[in-house]
């Protein structure tokens, strides 16, 4: 997770945003409503993937994301989740 926060810092150059997301405080971060909807979806996909419902996708569409963007959000979040599980399963990054 720390490496993801560092990546976000480097890409956005926004230390406050990276810290807020790293700490799980994205609901109160200075982000757009669309970004908040996206992060809500990503959180559900990450923590409770079987709970993703059609309504979650409808919320993304209502926030302005088209099907291609929704697929990209899903693929990126899923890839990071996969990599985290591989690393955790191998003990990578643990002291």
pLDDT of 3 reads 59
Length of the chain: 95
Sequence-distant (≥ 6) Cβ neighbours of residue 40 within 8 angstroms: 56, 59
Identify the CA nearest to 21 among candidates 7, 47, 55. 7
Kindly report the pTM of this predicted structure: 0.79
In the chain, where the domains are located = 1-30, 32-95
Residue 37 near residue 63, CB atoms below 8 Å: yes
Q: How far is 71 from 34, CA to CA, in rounded Å?
A: 15
pLDDT of residue 22: 74
**With pLDDT > 90 as the criterion, what percentage of the chain qualifies?**
52
- Compute the average pLDDT of residues 4-17: 70
Q: What's residue 88's pLDDT?
A: 83
Q: What is the pLDDT of residue 8?
A: 67
**What mean pLDDT is reported for the chain?**
86
Domain 32-95 fold: AhpD-like (1.20.1290)
Q: Is the pLDDT of residue 7 over 70?
A: no
Kindly report which listed range (16-25, 46-55, 86-95) carries the lowest average pLDDT score. Answer: 16-25
């Amino acid at each position: 997770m720390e490496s993801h926060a560092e990546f976000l810092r480097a890409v956005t150059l926004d230390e406050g945003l990276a810290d807020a997301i790293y700490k799980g405080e994205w609901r109160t971060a200075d982000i757009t409503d669309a970004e908040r909807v996206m992060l809500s979806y990503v959180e559900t996909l990450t923590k409770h993937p079987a709970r993703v419902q059609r309504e979650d996708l409808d919320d993304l569409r209502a926030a302005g994301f088209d099907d291609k963007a929704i697929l990209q959000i899903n693929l990126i979040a899923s890839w990071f989740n996969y990599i985290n599980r591989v690393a955790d399963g191998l003990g990578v990054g643990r002291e």
